[in-house]
Structures are given as C-alpha cells and as structure tokens.
Amino acid sequence: MRILVVEDDRSLCDAIAYWLRSRHYETDECHDGEEAEFYRKEAHYDCILLDRMLPGTDGIRILQNMRTQGDTTPVILITALGELSDKLTGLDSGADDYLVKPFAFEELEARIRSVVRRRLGAASDAVLQFGDLSYRPDELSLTGPGGQVLLSKKEGQVMETFLRNPQKTLSRERLTGQVWGPDSDVEYTNLDNYIHFLRKRFKTIKSTVKLANVWGVGYRMEES
C-alpha cells in the first residue's frame, strides 16, 4: 500500500513516514501545498494523509480540488483544529476521516485501514471503459470483442492511467510518475516495454483501440 504524507512539520512528517515504513507501507512525503498537488497528480496513492494548515495551498483547498477533479483517493485530514465546526468543514470538503493532533500511530494506522477498506468496497464493481474495451481494476481483467485477458499489476496501472485520461496525450514523465512514483529513476524504456505488452493484449482480444505514439512527448489512447 502506498501513502502520501503531507505535513509541514518535518519532524512529525518524518516520524509518521518512519512508522508507516516499519509497518511495510510505501510512503512519499512533502511539506507544502504546491508539492502536494504535484505528487497527487503524478502518482497513484492508496491513501493521503493531509495536514490542514500548509504553506501555499492549504489542505482544504487541495481536498476540494481533488474531489472537483474526480480524484477519489481516500484522504485523512490531520490537524490541530479539533472544534466540531473544523471537523464538519473537513468532512464536508470531501475528507474520508479527520484526525486531531496529537494522536497515536496505532490509531492512525487503524484509520488508514478503515478508509482504504471502505473505498475498495465501494470500487469493487467499478468498470473502466473506452471504445470496445472494458477493464476491471479489481480483477486486472481486460475485455474486448475477441475475449478477455488478465494483466500484470504494472500493466494494469498503465492501463488504468490511460482509461482515466482517454484521448489525452500523456507524457512519458507523467506516465512513469503515475505508475512508478514521481521520485522514481525508472527508465522510459521500461514504460515503452509495457506499452508494447498492452498493444499485444489489444491484438489478442481484437480491440480497435490503440496506444498512439505522440513523437517527442508520449502516448495517447484513441480509437482507430
């Protein structure tokens, strides 16, 4: 499970990330609103721990931006503001949970499990579609006119990124950031290999959808 920790108190941010890694979670950390916007757009996270009061764009604005843009990633607001009105503002802005400082790391982990479990349950029947393709992320199953194939986890992540951005040109930088993380040093040739694998999958199930090269930029999912 991969978690983004957004907290301007660097010592607290480091402590949260250290605890989560000791519990076998993957983490990315950032300390202001602009960084948070970059990270959450460039990579997939299972949960975001979001401080409410941040330099630059505050946590409530980030949360509102996410929900307006259709980003349903579970978010736990973490803040020193513990009045009922503060909690209502956070929850009404789209937070899945609200945790007041100070808190025990064990409680934080339990809340992470809870919001992720709820979101997975809500998304279990989700099907992403484009053209003659249907994809179930929970099963990694891709269906076309000629049948069904099962994707690997990385193939599935690449596929989901395209299906959530159909007919949009996606740069290699954005695609690698979304799948491998914004700080990853993965080579673009790795991405190109997965594009090749997906094209073969499309051919197997006789799909007319294609992943078109946009020379010098990246790729675009489009109908033939």
- pLDDT at site 121: 61
Among 70-74, 97-101, 164-168, 206-210, top mean pLDDT goes to 206-210
Extract the tokens encoding 150: 């099962």
* pTM, 2 dp: 0.61
CA 52, distance to chain mean position in Å, is 20
For Cα atoms 104, 91, 22, give the angle at the middle one, nearest 5 degrees.
Answer: 30
Distance CA 205, CA 187 (A): 29
Average pLDDT score over residue span 166-184: 83
Question: What domains, with CATH codes, occur in the chain?
Answer: 2-123 (3.40.50.2300), 128-223 (1.10.10.10)
Distance CA 158, CA 212 (A): 14
List residues bridging with 4 in a β-sheet: 28, 48
- pLDDT at site 82: 75
- pLDDT at site 48: 96
**CA-CA distances (angstroms) from residue 20 to 43, 51, 70, 162?**
18, 16, 27, 30
- Reply yes or no on whether the pLDDT at 120 is more than 70: no
- pLDDT at site 84: 86
